[in-house]
Copies of this chain bind each other. A is one copy, B any other.
């Protein structure tokens, strides 16, 4: 028994997610379906990347991920299936898997152009139901990926990499790449590019200056702003007992400057 994990911007108000699950279960009653999120900001491919990067390695080997975030509904980005050493990824060729693939070994990329495995009639606006769900379900039943279409080279993948921080000696200039539902701001500054003495860093964002990277929220007083290495492995900025993004909604659009202070 395998797992199909779903990540979409469909929301949870309509029937869309339920319908996709019905399609999958009709084709393969034995496969298990797990939701990662259906509340990605509409069309935000970078947010979809972040959520998938943060979650996929925690799923069992051979999990099939469907990620549907489609800023340009009905556009011509082909539907693709990417098989890596450990997982399968199904979605549109719009960069939605770029960041996952930075750390995965690609084994095969298939353009999903064999409509024998599609639901008919194919709508123009709900490929989640008509293409992605049935392909994932047939794949979970053991159909060979080659059956779904022609193989392509990874050069054909639309690439939307994580913006890299600028590093100049002891100064790092980063960006906010995701805001979670607690209002915590997650940056693109990975802990691996920081030195061990975290207390020696000074963090500047807008006109805010924070001294030292803490272990966790409770290292600062209530309502104070705190910098810490998040469960994401990236530097995060938050307000203890508070929603930093709601309190200061402009912060997420600002550069973040991290300075290592030599004594």
Q: What is A's interface to B at a CB cutoff of 8 Å?
A: 1, 3, 5, 7, 10-19, 21-23, 25-26, 29, 32-40, 42-43, 51-52, 54-56, 58-60, 63, 71-76, 123-126, 129-130, 180-182, 215-219, 228-231, 240-241
Residues of B within 8 A of A33 (CB): 34
- A228 partner, pick from B21, B26, B124, B130, beta carbons under 8 A: B124
User: Quick check: A124 and B29 within 8 Å, CB to CB?
Assistant: no
User: Quick check: B25 and A12 within 8 Å, CB to CB?
Assistant: no
Number of copies: 3
CA distance A124 to B58 in the complex (A): 17
Residues of B within 8 A of A217 (CB): 72-74, 125
* Interchain nearest-CB distance for A40 vs B (Å): 8
In the complex, besides A25-B32, A73-B240, A123-B231, 13 extra interface pairs with C-beta distance below 8 angstroms are A11-B182, A12-B181, A13-B39, A13-B40, A15-B36, A16-B180, A18-B36, A19-B55, A22-B58, A26-B60, A74-B218, A123-B230, A125-B230
User: Quick check: A216 and B37 within 8 Å, CB to CB?
Assistant: no
Residues of B within 8 A of A25 (CB): 3, 32, 34, 59-60
CA distance A1 to B43 in the complex (A): 37
User: Quick check: B26 and A13 within 8 Å, CB to CB?
Assistant: no
- 3 closest pairs, A vs B, by CB? A74-B216, A126-B231, A18-B36
User: Quick check: B34 and A18 within 8 Å, CB to CB?
Assistant: yes
- A12 partner, pick from B26, B38, B55, B230, beta carbons under 8 A: B38
Residues of B within 8 A of A72 (CB): 217-218, 241
Closest residue of chain B to A38 (Cβ to Cβ) is B12
Residues of B within 8 A of A34 (CB): 18, 21-22, 25, 33
Closest residue of chain B to A39 (Cβ to Cβ) is B13
User: Quick check: A15 and B54 within 8 Å, CB to CB?
Assistant: yes
User: Quick check: A60 and B22 within 8 Å, CB to CB?
Assistant: yes
- A71 partner, pick from B13, B52, B55, B241, beta carbons under 8 A: B241
CA distance A99 to B211 in the complex (A): 41
CA distance A36 to B22 in the complex (A): 9
